[in-house]
Amino acid sequence: MSSRRVVKLPYTEKHMACPHCRAPLVIGTVMDTILLARRICPKCHKEFLIENDVPRKPADGLKKPSGSVRTTKSKKSAKTR
């Protein structure tokens, strides 16, 4: 039997506020910097993003593009003989 080496990761608590209701939050992580994470506020129950240790409201990805944006469907080329 080979013995396994126990790896200990440093546990860090990040203090921040919810971007929706400004409730104080403590986020526990093993990373030095939270590059990208999704969380839900326990007070207002809304989702927010943490990007580079900064809490942000998520971008609304359900918006339709403007009329000038067209779909990228390939058109059949008309062959002339």
d(CA 8, CA 66) in angstroms, rounded, equals 50
d(CA 35, CA 50) in angstroms, rounded, equals 7
Mean pLDDT of the chain: 83
Q: Which pLDDT tens digit goes with each residue over 60-74?
A: 655 555 566 666 665
Q: Which pLDDT tens digit goes with each residue over 11-42?
A: 999 999 999 999 999 999 998 899 999 999 99
Indicate the domain borders of the chain.
Answer: 12-56
Whether the model pTM is above 0.85: no
